[in-house]
Structure 1
Amino acid sequence: MKKKEITRCEWVQNKPDYYMDYHDNIWGKPEYEDQELFKWLSLEIFHIGLSWQLVLSKYDQFMAAFDDFDIQTVAAYDEDKVTELMENEGIIRYRRKIEAIIHNARQVLDIQNEFGHFSEYIWQFTNHKQIINHLNIRLTKSPLSDQVTKDLKKRGFMFIGSVTIYSYLQAIGIINDHDLTCDFR
């Protein structure tokens, strides 16, 4: 008996194993844990202007450099830590992005104080339901990403825009944009 070939989204074809692992196990799957939500937001910020493959290839280095994206820890980073991160050749060394990650960790703490969990806040925009797109077109932003971006900016978040937030919403599974033929849909 022949084993069925796995069908993945077109954009992940011929990518390295770590990229396919991201597609298969993370992208489009609902995430509710605050630290994971913060981590993916941070990595999406590092993605701005660069390839996602580059960011994922540095995943382990990012995790080590940013203390596993522990929100409390990152929020407490000072100028010495920024200098240390700027000297870390294993990550993307862009000062404004690094400073935005630290600043945004503080904003996540404020949201946790208001909502109990960052997850409660971010999932409220869809009434805690996943949006499953039924079109085989690749969107880069939507009215939802516009709305979330506007609210995050109002709350002081830095280095974000609707395209970045759309990608983030895909990463954390609020939006499931897997191709219609993808086995991971």
Structure 2
Amino acid sequence: MSVTFSGPDGKPRCHWCAAAPELLAYHDREWGFPVDDDFRLFEKLCLEGFQAGLSWRTILAKRENFRAAFHGFDYNRIARFTQDDVARLLQDEGIVRHRGKIEAVINNAQRAIELANSEGSLAAYFWQFEPAPGELAAPQTASTSAGSIALSKVLKKQGWKFVGPTTMYAFMQAMGLVNDHAEGCIVRSEVDDSRRRFRAPGFG
């Protein structure tokens, strides 16, 4: 199967976004573009955890519900959640009602505060794991990397949950630490340009 398909404008894109309009929009506007906002980074880590055993399309369809339920993924607020909040979330039909995953978000919020306090920000820490170009496999041929394995290992040691190497690689793909758009995809060059600007002095 080809790794690209012709989008509605006739231009090639990664094949995985062909299944639904919402996936196409996510692919074109978000996936792979570099992110240095701590709350967005934390959100993606949480949503990747909720995705375990499900599809990203399912999670994406519920994303606004997740944002409402978890206060925009402000980990400072989530860290104070109690068992009453867990019970409330288990009744929320708009999200994935899985006790282990909900409790992992609360735990990870507490770990995020610790990490931000020690490193300055989540972004400053996570971007240390951006791989060098020579370390990358061909686009969309790998489900883990040396960087995702290393990041998973250190986060687990710090007490984070639902942060396995595959989950961390998906996080790195989505947040722009890796440009995994297929060769020939029209968005690949846009992501490359965005990553160059991201590294430029004074960015942000």
Instruction: Check whether TM > 0.5.
Output: yes
Unaligned runs of 5+ in 1: none
| CA distance 1:7–1:103, change in 2 (3 Å) | same
Identify which of 2, 11, 18 aligns with 1:6: 11
Residues 12-51 of structure 1 deviation map (CA, whole Å, 9 limit, x = unaligned): 11x2222111111111111000000000000000011111
Contact map agreement 1:132 1:177 (CA 8 A) in 2 = no
Residues 32-82 of structure 1 deviation map (CA, whole Å, 9 limit, x = unaligned): 000000000000000111111111111111111111111111111111111
What are the equivalent positions in structure 2 for 1:59-98 lying under 5 Å apart?
59-98=63-102
- SS for the counterpart of 1:8 is strand
| CA distance 1:130–1:115, change in 2 (3 Å) | farther
Displacement of 1:6 after TM fit?
2.6
Contact map agreement 1:104 1:158 (CA 8 A) in 2 = yes
Letter paired with 2:163: I
The count of corresponding residues between Structure 1 and Structure 2 is: 181
Residues 111-131 of structure 1 deviation map (CA, whole Å, 9 limit, x = unaligned): 11001111000001238x789
| CA distance 1:137–1:43, change in 2 (3 Å) | closer
2:40 aligned residue:
36
What are the equivalent positions in structure 2 for 1:3-152 lying under 5 Å apart?
5-13=10-18, 15-126=19-130, 133=136, 135-152=138-155
2:196 aligned residue:
none
Q: Which moved more, 1:131-140 or 1:155-164?
A: 131-140
Letter paired with 1:67: H
Displacement of 1:4 after TM fit?
6.0
Percent identity, aligned pairs only?
38
Residues 143-165 of structure 1 deviation map (CA, whole Å, 9 limit, x = unaligned): 11100000111111012211111
Displacement of 1:5 after TM fit?
2.4
Is 1:162 aligned to residue 165 of structure 2? yes
1:180 aligned residue:
183
Displacement of 1:133 after TM fit?
5.0
Unaligned runs of 5+ in 2: 1-7, 189-204
Displacement of 1:132 after TM fit?
9.4
Letter paired with 1:176: N
- SS for the counterpart of 1:11 is helix
Q: Distance in 2 between matches of 1:37 and 1:132?
A: 23
